Amino acid sequence: MKMPKLPVLITTRDDGRKEFIGLTPKEWVVSTAVLCGLYAILAGFFAVLLVIAQTIRNGADFYTIPGSDKLEDDDEKADSEE
């Protein structure tokens, strides 16, 4: 039984440049930089969402549902009307 050939990871293009898994070193740097930039933007976006959520809750305990204090006030008003 013949063993299957392993794929070649590092090859040479027709113009003489080396490539690793189909990309030259410059293309790897550009791809990595773009992905790092994308993830930095996403991290900033979620950080802003977290700050907004904390501001809306205004220091309330995270177990409480936002607006639940208003519901309790409405229940107290309904009890006092009876």
Which pLDDT tens digits describe the chain residue by residue (82 residues)?
A: 787 777 778 788 788 888 888 888 888 999 999 999 999 999 999 999 988 888 877 766 666 666 666 666 555 665 565 5
How many CB atoms are located within 10 Å of the residue 60 CB?
Answer: 13
- Residue 19 near residue 11, CB atoms below 8 Å: yes
- Enumerate the domain spans of the chain: 10-81
pLDDT recorded at residue 57:
74
0.95 exceeded by pTM: no
Contact predicate 31/20, CB 8 Å: no
> Cα separation of 20 and 6, whole Å?
15
Q: Residue 58 and residue 64: Cα distance in Å, rounded?
A: 12
